[in-house]
């Protein structure tokens, strides 16, 4: 039998490790690490313990090191402490449950020395282990109080850096240190608190979850484990015999996931068939299972409650049935026996979940909806039982309220079932995205010489980078990659929103999940698994739905104090009505038949407990955020969280980068003028050679223009002039250059045949000491006033010519700028280009505020300048140089066709690179928060009105009394009203620019 994942502990062997510069560039610390390793014991660090290294300053002799060691060893929880005087370091092994890193630092400083926690050393040749981001499914949460309880439990676990729990998705994300805590520990902690928990997925790259078919007996399971034990590269594995899921932790340097599958299937001679378990599919199935289970409980409660209600309301009007119910069987009438039995089944079998959930909440010193339901139903049930027993003993028969308990549980379960359905609707966006992912792929197996020898259909989740895949007409592209053979049109509307198919031919980039329309393609996979565009979109949407808007903190706080307040109000209601009755403050005619003042007061008290549930308050924000993120994804706007939504609805300024954002980002050369007797072709070849090593869009435009001018054939270049091959070299027709350097905000410099060439703006020419003649300056000014960038070229210390490059504006830019103004948002443009060109572009699009000649790092300063008065600022950009500004802005919006770094730094990703989506993002944010505020009005107004009515405040004047079962119905409907209000956001339609601009079309 193989050891379980929970029981195994991996240790690193460092004694024989050798230093490699490719692995560790900081060779200066290597000796220190080896010296400190001498203090390690052969047993290593015990399970659950943690080792850190601390830099200690101020030690001058052995007595100092002894003092530090003594100070550390006196701290409770520290197992060993060794101090290396020469290295000024301390090696400490401790129990993280008793001691924190900061406590160790404080102990050293209290001894009179300075201390600093050092980064964990990594042995050469080993993989560094940081924190993992794990996702867990959590069952049994019913309201915001449950969420707060689970989050508190997780955050108190040693090794947990961050924990976020979402009620709407029943998911939790935990960032934790795997060296201190395992996923099983997290699951156990959640279950110990009384909730259901299961692991979904983590950020580990060396783990795979497989579904296994073909296992029918224990012998089969042992056979599988035997195969795994003999496979090279398998570190740990665990087979769940109930779910038939196999979890494998492997060494990616020895074996990959596909080899594992082949090895297991081959080792079993085809007996076992494996498929990769998609975590998103597992989440979806759990949602369906939860809704199904809640519906089953509701039906059970309903079928048992209907006879009870029938006995109480209908049977007294049917003499024959009523006489049977009045037939005495032992100490009670037959009707009482039937109600007691039926309601007991509802109370303790169907309603068992409420007692379990209430118990775990109280055990965790918190209160939630389940506490209220358990309290209310128990009060009516046990009072009814008491009334029966009291009547049997004394002959005085008080009314019973069994139907109250049964109907209350039924209505609560109905509300929970409808909530499950509503929550399922809110996650439709993720489900649709998951359905877009291809299930299988055709792998082309080749010989070393590149010759195809066979094809094999594989699970799409087993694709590896570098695989060559065949894509048939009508099939989905199985991964992100590059076309290596064939040509076809591909429907990319999934990502771009554009219905027009895009031609894909040699070297074209393709996106996994898009549809091949006509021809056969062969692609080379470049991004697989979580790195694909589709999976990143899914991850962004899911993360956004997990996030909490700051406004939700208010709801969480209210929920945390709400239940104790309600219980207090219920007790005061009981005490008030009972005392008033005993003092004769209201007539005895108000009392129910055979009832007393206590029973009369108890019904009001139970109604207060039942109706004042904080569920609606807890659902107000997360359901709206979930729907909004899904709607945004469907409209090409990816939102990274509720906090981004909250900030975006208050945006006052939108700062646009110029190149690639307001413009198309596909620069073209409009003119090339030579001011010497140099041949024009030779001039262009010189400029292209200098710009050939640059990644700037203007540089690529110049190289492409020179190539066409000379009719050179460059098969590595695509139509837009961009080279997508990582292994490609400079085109052969260019001159050889040396000492190339790119100067941000200025241009480029290099040497050709020993002579320096400088290509850039005036600032570069000035720094190089090159004069700009008047006639050249006038020519450049003329270009700039026409929104054309003039690039100056100097060779061998003399200015020889100017290249004019223009980047056309996006067709929607001017209309979007005007639309933002109509929405009360001020547009601003920032660019590193010169003032004249920037001003010309700004005038064309209608932007009044322009910041030109801004260095890349200065864009963030521009953002901060608008934030000084407290204004909310959005930044829209696409390049690496926009990343600091995107991060500095209150709301960063990255153009989807931009760089990965820009997208990572942004709060919104505009997938279709269409500026109209800036308006959509702001408008959707505003409508979402208008809906959230309306939800809070529903939730708060409901409680403000309902609680006094339930407490009987209007009964003396209007005679209106809310029975407990009716209070239960109102409570369930309050949650549904909030969820349905959020679901109305699904009908959101992106604003039409004609409407925003108030344009009347004849």
- For tokens 């919006």, the residue is 893
Q: How far apart are CA 674 and CA 666, in angstroms?
A: 24
Do 605 and 948 touch, CB atoms closer than 8 A? Answer: no
Phi-psi region of 938 (alpha: psi -120 to 50; beta: other; left: phi over 0): alpha
Query: What would the two tokens of residue 353 be?
Result: 């979940």
Do 663 and 841 touch, CB atoms closer than 8 A? Answer: yes
Q: Could you list the active site residues? A: 657
Q: What is the DSSP string of 922-953?
A: HHHHHHHHHHHHHHHHHHHHHHHHHHHHHTTT
Do 108 and 120 touch, CB atoms closer than 8 A? Answer: no
Do 837 and 788 touch, CB atoms closer than 8 A? Answer: yes
Q: How far apart are CA 91 and CA 72, in angstroms?
A: 10
Q: How far apart are CA 412 and CA 141, in angstroms?
A: 14
Q: What is the DSSP string of 431-472?
A: HHHHHHS-SEEEEEEE-TTS-EEEEEEEEGGG--TT-EEEE-
In this structure, the number of other CB atoms found within 10 A of the CB of residue 768 comes to 16
In this structure, the number of other CB atoms found within 10 A of the CB of residue 172 comes to 25
Burial of 408 (0-12, 13-18, 19+ CB in 10 A): buried
Query: What would the two tokens of residue 714 be?
Result: 């460059």
Burial of 880 (0-12, 13-18, 19+ CB in 10 A): middle
Burial of 885 (0-12, 13-18, 19+ CB in 10 A): buried
Q: How far apart are CA 489 and CA 504, in angstroms?
A: 6
What's CA 864's distance to the chain center, in Å?
A: 27
Please compute, for residue 998, the number of CA atoms within 13 A of its CA located in the half-sphere on the CB side. Answer: 4
DSSP H or E stretch at residue 820: helix 813-822
Burial of 81 (0-12, 13-18, 19+ CB in 10 A): buried
Burial of 1 (0-12, 13-18, 19+ CB in 10 A): exposed
The set of residues, in sequence order, having a beta carbon less than 8 Å from that of 336 and lying 6+ positions away, is: 388, 400
Q: How far apart are CA 839 and CA 350, in angstroms?
A: 72
In this structure, the number of other CB atoms found within 10 A of the CB of residue 663 comes to 22
Q: Which of 702, 548, 685, 728 is nearest to 625 (CA)?
A: 548
Please compute, for residue 579, the number of CA atoms within 13 A of its CA located in the half-sphere on the CB side. Answer: 6
Query: What would the two tokens of residue 76 be?
Result: 């409770």
Q: Is the dihedral of CA 827, 832, 836, 838 positive or negative?
A: negative
DSSP H or E stretch at residue 403: helix 402-426
Helices (H), 164-274: 183-192, 218-230, 257-267
CA dihedral 471→477→483→488, nearest 10 degrees, is: 70
Q: How far apart are CA 335 and CA 304, in angstroms?
A: 14
């Amino acid at each position: 039998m193989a050891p379980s994942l929970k029981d195994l502990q991996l240790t690193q062997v460092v004694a024989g490790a050798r230093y490699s510069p490719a692995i560790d560039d900081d060779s200066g610390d290597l000796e220190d690490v080896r010296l400190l390793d001498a203090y390690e014991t052969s047993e290593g660090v015990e399970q659950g313990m943690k080792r850190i290294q601390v830099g200690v300053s101020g030690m001058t002799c052995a007595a100092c090191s002894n003092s530090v060691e003594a100070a550390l060893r006196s701290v409770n929880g520290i197992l060993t402490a060794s101090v290396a005087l020469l290295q000024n370091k301390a090696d400490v092994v401790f129990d993280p449950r008793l001691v924190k890193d900061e406590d160790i630092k404080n102990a050293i400083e209290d001894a009179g020395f300075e201390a600093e926690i050092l980064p964990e050393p990594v042995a050469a040749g080993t993989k560094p282990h940081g924190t993992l981001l794990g996702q867990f499914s959590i069952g049994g949460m019913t309201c915001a109080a449950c969420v707060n309880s689970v989050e508190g439990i997780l955050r108190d676990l040693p090794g947990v850096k961050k924990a976020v729990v979402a009620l709407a998705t029943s998911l939790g994300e935990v960032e934790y240190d795997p060296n201190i805590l395992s996923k099983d520990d997290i699951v156990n902690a959640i279950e110990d608190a009384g909730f259901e928990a299961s692991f979904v997925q983590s950020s580990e790259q060396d783990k795979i979850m497989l579904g296994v078919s073909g296992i029918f007996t224990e012998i089969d399971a042992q056979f599988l484990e035997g195969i795994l034990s003999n496979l090279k590269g398998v570190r740990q594995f665990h087979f769940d015999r109930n779910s038939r899921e196999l979890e494998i932790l492997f060494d990616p340097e020895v074996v990959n996931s596909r080899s594992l599958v082949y090895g297991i299937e081959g080792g079993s001679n085809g007996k076992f068939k494996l498929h990769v378990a998609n975590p998103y599919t597992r989440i979806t199935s759990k949602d369906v299972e939860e809704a199904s289970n809640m519906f089953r409980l509701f039906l059970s409660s309903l079928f048992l409650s209907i006879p009870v209600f029938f006995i109480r309301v209908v049977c007294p009007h049917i003499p024959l049935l009523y006489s049977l119910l009045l037939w005495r069987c032992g100490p009670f009438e037959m009707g009482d026996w039937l109600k007691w039995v039926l309601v007991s089944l509802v109370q303790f079998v169907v309603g068992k979940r409420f007692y379990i959930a209430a118990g775990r909440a109280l055990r965790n010193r918190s209160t939630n909806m389940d506490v209220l339901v358990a309290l209310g139903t128990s009060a009516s049930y046990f009072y009814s039982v008491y009334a029966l027993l009291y009547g049997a003993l004394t002959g005085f028969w008080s009314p019973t309220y069994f139907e109250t308990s049964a109907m209350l549980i039924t209505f609560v379960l109905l509300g929970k079932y409808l909530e499950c359905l509503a929550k399922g609707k809110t996650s439709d966006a993720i489900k649709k995205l998951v359905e877009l992912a291809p299930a299988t792929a055709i792998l082309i197996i080749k010989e070393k010489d590149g010759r195809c020898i066979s094809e094999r259909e594989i699970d799409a989740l087993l694709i590896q980078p570098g695989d060559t895949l065949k894509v048939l007409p009508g099939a989905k592209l199985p991964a992100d990659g590059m076309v290596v053979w064939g040509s076809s049109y591909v429907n990319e509307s999934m990502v771009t929103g554009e219905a027009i198919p895009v031609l894909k031919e040699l070297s074209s980039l393709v996106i996994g999940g898009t549809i091949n329309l006509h021809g056969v393609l062969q692609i080379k996979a470049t991004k697989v698994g979580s790195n694909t565009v589709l999976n990143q979109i899914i991850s962004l949407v899911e993360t956004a739905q997990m996030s909490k808007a700051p406004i939700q903190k208010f709801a969480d706080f209210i929920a945390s104090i709400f239940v104790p307040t309600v219980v207090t109000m219920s007790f005061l209601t009981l005490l008030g009505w009972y005392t008033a009755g005993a003092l004769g403050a209201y007539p005895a005619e108000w009392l129910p038949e055979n009832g007393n003042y206590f029973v009369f007061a108890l019904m009001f008290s139970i109604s207060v407990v039942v109706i004042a549930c904080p569920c609606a308050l807890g659902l107000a924000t997360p359901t709206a955020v979930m729907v909004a993120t899904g709607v945004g994804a469907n409209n090409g706007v990816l939102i990274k969280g509720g906090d981004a939504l909250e900030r975006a609805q208050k945006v006052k300024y939108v700062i646009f980068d110029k190149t690639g954002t307001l413009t198309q980002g596909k620069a073209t050369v409009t003119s090339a003028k030579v001011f010497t007797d140099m041949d024009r072709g030779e001039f262009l070849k010189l400029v292209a050679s200098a710009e050939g090593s640059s990644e700037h869009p203007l540089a690529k435009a110049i190289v492409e223009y020179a190539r066409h001018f000379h009719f050179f054939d460059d098969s590595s270049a695509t139509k837009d002039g961009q080279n997508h091959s990582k292994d490609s070299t400079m085109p052969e027709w260019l001159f050889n250059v040396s000492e190339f350097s790119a100067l941000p905000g200025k241009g480029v410099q290099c040497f050709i045949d020993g002579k320096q060439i400088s290509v850039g703006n005036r600032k570069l020419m000035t720094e190089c000491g090159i004069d700009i003649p008047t006639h050249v300056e006038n020519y450049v000014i003329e270009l700039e006033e026409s929104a054309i960038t003039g690039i100056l070229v100097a060779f061998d210390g003399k200015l020889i010519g100017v290249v004019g490059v223009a980047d056309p504006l996006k067709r929607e830019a001017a209309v979007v700028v005007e639309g933002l103004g109509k929405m009360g948002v001020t547009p601003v443009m920032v660019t590193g280009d010169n003032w004249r060109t920037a001003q010309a572009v700004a005038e064309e699009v209608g932007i009044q505020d322009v910041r030109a000649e801004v260095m890349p790092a200065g864009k963030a300063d521009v953002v901060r300048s608008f934030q000084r008065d407290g204004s909310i600022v959005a930044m829209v950009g696409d390049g690496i140089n926009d990343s600091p500004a995107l991060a500095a802005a209150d709301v960063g919006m990255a153009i989807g066709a931009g760089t990965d770094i820009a997208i990572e730094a942004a709060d919104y990703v505009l997938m279709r690179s269409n500026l109209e989506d800036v308006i959509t993002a702001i408008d959707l944010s505003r409508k979402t928060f208008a809906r959230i505020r309306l939800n809070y009005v529903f939730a708060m107004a409901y409680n403000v009105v309902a609680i006094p009515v339930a407490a009987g405040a209007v009964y003396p004047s209007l005679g209106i009394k809310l029975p407990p079962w009716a209070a239960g119905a109102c409570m369930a409907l309050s949650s549904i009203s909030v969820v349905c209000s959020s679901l109305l956001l699904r009908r959101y339609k992106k604003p039409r620019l004609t409407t925003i601009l108030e344009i009347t079309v004849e």
